[in-house]
Amino acid sequence: MIIPKILETSYPYKGKIVTIRKDKLTRDGEKTFVRETAAVADSVAIVAVDDRNRVLLIRQYRHPVGEPVWEIPAGRMDIEDEKPEQTALRELQEETDTSAEKIQYLTVFGNSVGWTTEKTYVFLARGLKGVPEYDRQNEEADIEKKWISMSEALDMVRSGQLNDAKTIIGLLLAGEYIVRK
């Protein structure tokens, strides 16, 4: 396989969350082609499961789809030198007012490898307890929380009621892990 060579790179857009990188490439040194990439920080997703094997879901407004979405807690790795596990614990507290005694790595996946650099690290959180309410801002201020059985969550994945990729991946892996234990 020939790996294309990057001839030049420009950045037509640099925003707070996303930077668009435009690369001019060649495979043979003669013909060129352009690829645009959305460069964004990696993220984490947390499947929080209590001692009754219930899953914590949150519902918040997601601007790209223009509506509220039920999903597992998640967030960007936007603090320098913070490890994915630390980000997961922080985001769980910030979004759900919940802490976890144990956090276990489940997987990492490329969100959409054809156009973005973003990877999501998925964790299973156990040993949960409530913590003081976090002062949430913007669309996070309206986060709703609900606990549902793992079985019901998996049924919602299969029926398409839960259609967020990180939520589907996290619930399928966590459900498998819980059944095996």
Within 13 Å and on the Cβ side, how many CA atoms surround 154? 14
Considering all CA atoms of the chain, what is the largest pairwise distance in Å, rounded to the nearest integer? 62
Answer for the pair 166, 88: CB distance below 8 angstroms, yes or no.
no
Backbone angles phi, psi at 165, to 5 degrees: -60, -50
Q: Which of 85, 94, 140, 152 is catalytic?
A: 140
Identify the three-state secondary structure at position 28: coil
* Known catalytic residue at 85: no
Q: Catalytic amino acids?
A: 140
